Structure 1
Amino acid sequence: MKKYPCLVKSVSRLIQEQELIVPGDRVLVAFSGGPDSTTLSDILEQLRNEFKFQLALFHLNHGLRGQEALRDQNFCIDWAKKRNIEIFVEQFDVKAYKKEQSISLEEAARKIRYQKLKEIAELWKADKIALGHHRNDQVETILMNIIRGTGIHGLRGMPFRNGKFIRPLLKTTLDEIHHYLEEQHLTYVVDSTNLDQSFLRNRIRLGLIPFLKKDFNPKIEEVIFRLGLNLQESLSTFPEEEWPVEKNGQLFRFPINRLIGISDLKKRRGLIAFIKQVKGDTYQVTRAHFKALENIIKKGKGQTMLPEKISFWVDNGYIYARRGELLLVDIPAWSYALEMPGINQLEDIGLAIESFLKTPHGHDDLKTIWCEIDLEKCKFPLVLRNFLKGDRVVINGKEKKLKTIFQLQGIPENWRRKVPILCDQEKILWIPGILLDERAQVQENSKSILIVTMRTYKR
């Protein structure tokens, strides 16, 4: 039998104990070229014959660090080439995505990284996606969750396995990783943003943990790691509740009467399971979000928002959820002529719609639902109205019935006349939260661009 270094043996045992990889698996590694992912990739390369799995790497250039990011990308390509390992490389403008989603740079990078990993995993038909998170990362994650506000699920930290995602280094310390790299004479790259204390994780690693070790407990990292491990073991004995969720297009719903007669603990577990179906995870969902959800369920009406613009609302005995904001006007037929550019406060329907011409300075501070429209393609005056029979829009060069679009979006029939629609004198331009008609879209040669925002309005 081949003699492995100590860390390789340790990771091999964890893979077997947690059943992270089985013979025949195709394993895709998230490879940044840093010490963690370099160690993970090297260890998995050594173990792939023993465990009989195939190995590939994925590197994402976030477009944030200029030449340094290009250096990392080239390092990863060369590293894979020398070992004859297949590698996938992609570039993405994370800053633009951050502005588009109105989220932090840290969160934008995390979301895109996971999204791209899933896409490449599907393309390569990967069974597992291996991440380089180690013991120190786990401690930082638990502390981050505590600072942001969390329950027992946040205190457990990251699991060894979550669907396709696996973390073979989760019991390995950063010191062990650096010792392995030195012992095996492996080179790696260093991300300079790891020292940027504008990121919460970096402040925890560089400031909070050293403070706790010095003034409170020199073994605080071990204590926190064990806390997470103990909670993972305890929670594994309580399977997550499954609710009778119905899905129609982008819309999710379940009947509120299924909540009657069950304990608050079961309701909370059920909400966690439901949120995961809609959002994919419970990242950044705090106790306050759960309280807001529980309140609208108790009242039997109302709406609330979760991180990443996930809308939840209660109507007609169901709790609904969908990605993106959805503005609804609960009166029969209506139509309002608008002053564009200008500010329009429509008190009767509870909406405020504002528009202005785009300037070279941009519009980075917009927090409401908004769109950009080619002004020269509009026939004035513009009108805000509700759905009419026979309404049509143009998508991908084809005219489609708006009724069909609503069906694909999962908008119930009795809600369709509540959705506000921006039109000119000839066509539909924009349906907030749903689509922008192709005939109104801005092109490279557009000269005048109208920025339109919409929000709920109260007198």
Structure 2
Amino acid sequence: MLNKVKDYIEKHQIIENKDRVVLAVSGGPDSMALLHLFTQLRQEWGIKIAAAHLNHQLRPEAEAELQYLQSYCAAQKIDFYSHVVDVAAYARREKKSIEEAGRDQRYQFLRELCQQLSYNKVATAHHRDDRAETVLMHLLRGSGIKGLRSIMPVSGSLIRPLLTVGKSDILAYLDENAIEYCRDDSNYELQYFRNRVRLELLPLLQEYNPQIVTALNQLADIAAAEDQVLEKETEALWEQLIISEQNDKIILNNQQLQALMLAYKRRVVLKALTEIGGPAGWSLNDIDYVLDLAMKTGSAKYINLPKGILVSKQYDELIFSHQRPEAQPFVYEITIPGEVLIDETGELFSFTIISGEDPQEYGVAAYLDYDKLEMPLYLRSRRDGDRFEPAYMGGSKKLKDYFIDIKLPAVERDRVPILASRHQIYALLGYRLGRNALVDADTRNILMVKREERKNSDPGSMGLTKIEKDYPLC
């Protein structure tokens, strides 16, 4: 078995010289075989290994397993690390199954340990029988090609060097080398989905095909190869569709997306959701929900998805972003000179009077003729019935219609800071000036409004006044 595993490692480039590998060990037969194999290979391949064990606090045998692993690793001169976590409590808190909760906690422990010890890989003891079980589990849940790949030999820093051997190979190897291992009776409890697949479904399928494990592994290999091709093509399509890509927002060309075949549409959407919200937890329903939105005609629409993701369709753009809290109505009276921090949006604005000679020397800002402004001035959010007279356009129009004209998403409209008196709007800060206080040749005093870098999040420290009551502005 040693040579078989070595050939598999070399074929898939799983290990490189000077790798530092954390071995996930439970004390069971699979992880003990992994531990023994890597003990044999560490000197030959010039790698550093350590063993890591997580006590889930689910079984009374856990303490004995810990002591056995400590003793074995000490005898083999292998660094050993362990951690205890209450998986049942975590499962209740996060509303997850025990299986899912245990997996979450194991991989979190292993990732954190790698970071602390500066190890670059984690090896698990999954074998070909495990891979066959996972294919079946994914098939029963209606998975696509990506899910049918099942367990891969390399997934980022996670490696599975035993996928080339089966359970019977492992047990024979342990027997030949007189290696003791622990028995986990929970592997035979039928309350767990994987156990039912292994103990009931696979034996039944073996009656139809004695080589069912081999067949399912073959299916996984085929799916992996085809998925690789589709992923490469999806990457090329992504480069064509992407309009903007930032940490908190992705914008795709929706018109071009609609021209793709359904399989590619789904992959592009999945990539966008993964980039903005992480890889785990996206269902076909989530993806098709986004595609339904993308196909809707008309102006801006949006949907909310799990993980706090907002997807909006704005004309020919499909935008993926993190949900922002819904903006609350706001109104602040302005002191000149002074600053206003809008608590509801987090924006900070300064208000200064400057000479009318050359405002451009002050940089990017909104400039208004101070002497044409009706006092007091307020910084507020929009209201029903607002009308606006945009500069250089002639006439007035409903503010709602103006926002539609400039294709401002509905979810952003309540966040626009409006500079106004009680009776008229002078500017939509960041968007457009009104025509009723424009700077001209006769202007003597200019009100300069600038968006500032936020230095202090406590409005009380700046002597600002927030108007709590509903002023009849405009």
**Residues 88-108 of structure 1: CA distance to partner in whole angstroms, max 9, x if unpaired?**
211112222222222222111
Paired amino acid for 2:35: S
State TM-score, norm by structure 1.
Answer: 0.66
The amino acid that maps onto 2:2 is V
Structure-2 separation of matches of 1:83 and 1:94: 30
| 2:11 is the counterpart of 1:36 | no
C-alpha separation between the residues in 1 aligned to 2:321 and 2:290?
11
What secondary structure sits across from 1:172 in the alignment?
Answer: coil
Q: How far apart, in 2, do the equivalents of 1:403 and 1:58 lie?
A: 47
**In structure 2, C-alpha distance between the alignment counterparts of 1:71 and 1:321, rounded to whole Å:** 48
> Does the Cα contact within 8 Å between 1:33 and 1:76 map onto a contact in 2?
yes
1:165-188 superposed Cα distances (whole Å, 9 cap, x missing partner):
111001110000000011110011
Over alpha carbons, which structure has the higher Rg? 2
1:14 maps to a residue whose letter is: Y
After superposition, the Cα gap between the structure-2 partners of 1:301 and 1:92, relative to the gap in structure 1 and judged at 3 Å, is: farther
**Change in CA separation of 1:140 and 1:29 when aligned onto 2, cut-off 3 Å:** same
Question: How far apart in 2 are the matches of 1:298 and 1:151?
Answer: 23
| Alignment match, 2:320 | 320
The code of the aligned residue for 2:222 comes to N
Asked if 1:21 is matched to 2:18, the reply is no
Flag the 1:312–1:148 CA change in 2: closer, same or farther, 3 A. farther
| In structure 2, C-alpha distance between the alignment counterparts of 1:416 and 1:38, rounded to whole Å | 60
Amino acid at match of 1:287: L
Going from structure 1 to structure 2, the CA distance change for 1:226 and 1:75 (only over 3 Å counts) comes to same
Letter in 2 for 1:63: Q
Distance across 1 between alignment mates of 2:24 and 2:183:
16
Uncovered stretches (5+) of structure 1, i.e. residues with no partner: 1-6, 335-387, 393-400, 405-411, 419-459
Q: 1:162 to 1:303 in 2, by over 3 A?
A: same
Q: Which residue of 2 aligns with 1:92?
A: 85
- What is residue 266 of structure 2 aligned with on the other side? 268
Letter in 2 for 1:276: T
Q: 2:86, 2:308 → 1: CA distance?
A: 23
Contact kept, 8 Å, 1:33 with 1:189, in 2: the verdict is yes
Q: Would the alpha carbon gap of residues 75 and 47 (structure 1) be closer, same or farther in structure 2, given more than 3 Å must change? A: same
Label 1:15 to 1:402 Cα distance change in 2 as closer, same or farther (>3 A). Answer: same
* 2:290 paired residue among 293, 305, 311: 293
Partner AA of 2:215 in structure 1: V
Are the equivalent residues in 2 in contact too, given 1:151–1:287 (CA < 8 A)?
A: no
C-alpha displacement of 1:208: 0.7
Distance 2:413 2:185 in 1: 50
Shift of 1:80: 1.2
CA distance in structure 2 between the aligned counterparts of 1:253 and 1:31, rounded to whole angstroms: 40
Which residue is 1:230 aligned to?
Answer: 222
Contact 1:128/1:165 (8 A) holds in 2: yes
1:441 equivalent in structure 2: none
Say if 2:101 is the partner of 1:104: no
Per the alignment, residue 46 of structure 1 pairs with 40
Of 168-177 and 264-273, the range deviating more from structure 2: 264-273
Q: Counterparts in 2 of 1:56-135, with a 5 A limit?
A: 56-65=50-59, 67-135=60-128
Q: What code does the residue aligned with 2:260 have?
A: I
Q: 1:236 to 1:332 in 2, by over 3 A?
A: same
Q: TM-score of the superposition, structure 2-length normalised?
A: 0.64
Correspondent of 1:218 among 210, 215, 237? 210
RMSD: 3.0
Q: How does 1:367-406 map to 2 (within 5 A)?
A: 389=341, 391=343
Give the equivalent residue in structure 2 for 1:373.
none
Question: What CA distance in whole angstroms lies between the structure 1 residues aligned with 2:278 and 2:64?
Answer: 33
Equivalent-residue separation in structure 1 for 2:35 and 2:214 (angstroms): 25
Q: CA deviation at 1:294?
A: 1.8
Q: 1:259 aligns with which of 257, 260, 283?
A: 257
Identical aligned residues as a percent: 30
Q: How many angstroms does 1:227 deviate by?
A: 0.9
Deviation at residue 281 of structure 1 after TM alignment: 3.1
Partners of 1:148 and 1:286 within 8 A in 2: no
Q: CA deviation at 1:197?
A: 1.3
Contact kept, 8 Å, 1:149 with 1:287, in 2: the verdict is: no
